[in-house]
Amino acid sequence: MKLKNVFAAGALAAAGLFGAATPAVAQISGDVIRIGIITDMSSVYADIDGQGGVEAIRMAIADMGGTINGKKVEVISADHQNKADVAATKAREWFDTQGLDVLIGGTNSGANLAMAKVAAEKKKPFLVVGAASSALTNDQCTPYTLHWAYDTTALAKGTGAAVVKQGGKSWYFLTADYAFGAQLQTDTSKVVEANGGKVVGSVKVPLNASDFSSFLLQAQGSKAQILGLANAGGDTINSIKAANEFGITKTMKLAGLLVFINDIHSLGLKTTQGMYLTDSWYWNQNAETRAWSRKFFDKMKRMPSSLQAGDYSAATQYLAAVKATGSDDTEKVLAHLKKAKFNDIFMKDGWVRGDGRVIHDMYLMQVKEPGKSTEPWDYYEVKQVFKGEEAWTTKAETKCALWK
């Protein structure tokens, strides 16, 4: 009996451990323009967005002068712990009781799809930055959702097509066993096949698997040329590490379908050199991005990811729209955003399409060899630029009713 009790308590504690939370940081409402960001602050995606994302929004507010037409601008943030219900509840609470004017969605597609529903119901602008699922502007599009940084379609079109064109004809996928992984694999398979490649197999790997060597040996047995990593965060990091350790990289080339600069930084160039990846932004692109990134670095002690730059951009453009319309009324601001041209450190001549997709360039990058990197965080070489609409879902493919 004692054993049973102890074990039951252990199981409860385990559930708590997985959901370990930091308390939400919320401030008291006033007569202000209030920007909210709900993202992963404590778990696997906390480095690519998290506190850095909040800081980027603060930088945007500061760069706008701290006030818009005499009204104070504030940011509030919360940790959704990668749980869709937590994200939706928090969003609802903020809209109902905090006078939230705009919600910025951080990482995790599930959480963002849930928040999109709340924002649409409350008729408030929802700017998605960190989530990848293309469903946000496809079958689940709403008039209030704008998808800012990237999506699974763009990732597939970028890395998938480029790798096939480089001669990587046969693919084997290592796929995270949940909605995001499946979508990324499906989107990439389409692109691979359309470019004359073929998919010889795949293995579905449980999320947060501790050891990838078994799955990698199966991939190696497939004799495919390319190992497509349809996973993210810690799973990508550990699979790349194991692929090197077991010499898989000698017979197969890795294609990381969703890789952030923080992943590269944490793995090191020795392990990641030569890898292709697609991203919406890179800090070391030009003088303007470098200058902004160094400011960010002074605060966070690391270079910004594309998502953090995207958070800055979303907040900046929203505030510009409020300034231009002299109002924080949803319809007025959205109408303005939907006909504006966006020019900031994140994008040039960006614009919003009918489905809510923010159209901007995407980049295919290759990780540098250690010898070619001149300073810490100098990791990428831009190999190809996907201009404008090239990277995204086409009108022929879309299931978004708003854009038919």
The residue ranges that bind other proteins (CB under 8 A) are 2-7, 9-10, 13-14, 16-18, 20, 22, 42-47, 177, 203-206, 208-211, 213-215, 217-218, 221, 233-234, 237-238, 241-242, 245-247, 262-263, 265-268, 271, 302
Compare residues 202 and 393 and give the one whose CB is closer to other proteins: 202
In whole angstroms, give the CA distance from residue 130 to residue 149.
7
Shortest Å distance, C-beta 308 to other proteins: 13
Q: Where are the alpha helices (DSSP H) in 329-380?
A: 330-339
Alpha-carbon distance values, 13 to 6, 8, 297, 324 (Å): 10, 9, 37, 51
- Report whether 295 contacts 59 (CB < 8 A): yes
Instruction: Show the tokens assigned to 46.
Output: 């906390």
Shortest Å distance, C-beta 50 to other proteins: 8
Q: On the CB side of 227, how many CA atoms lie within 13 Å of its CA?
A: 28
Compare residues 206 and 376 and give the one whose CB is closer to other proteins: 206
CB atoms within 10 A of CB 374: 8
Compare residues 10 and 66 and give the one whose CB is closer to other proteins: 10
Compare residues 212 and 363 and give the one whose CB is closer to other proteins: 212
Compare residues 79 and 187 and give the one whose CB is closer to other proteins: 79
Compare residues 125 and 256 and give the one whose CB is closer to other proteins: 256
Q: Where are the alpha helices (DSSP H) in 156-305?
A: 161-165, 179-194, 213-221, 233-245, 248-251, 261-267, 269-272, 287-300
Q: How far is CA 104 from the centre of its chain?
A: 12
Shortest Å distance, C-beta 193 to other proteins: 23
Compare residues 65 and 221 and give the one whose CB is closer to other proteins: 221
Query: Residue 121 belongs to what H/E stretch?
Result: helix 109-122
In whole angstroms, give the CA distance from residue 366 to residue 387.
18
Shortest Å distance, C-beta 274 to other proteins: 17
Spatial CA neighbour of 226 closest among 154, 275, 289, 291? 275
Shortest Å distance, C-beta 210 to other proteins: 6
Shortest Å distance, C-beta 398 to other proteins: 31
Residues in the chain: 404
- The residue behind tokens 């004692």 is 2
Shortest Å distance, C-beta 79 to other proteins: 12
In whole angstroms, give the CA distance from residue 86 to residue 386.
36
* Phi, psi (degrees; rounded to nearest 5) at 172: -130, 135
Shortest Å distance, C-beta 180 to other proteins: 15
Compare residues 170 and 208 and give the one whose CB is closer to other proteins: 208
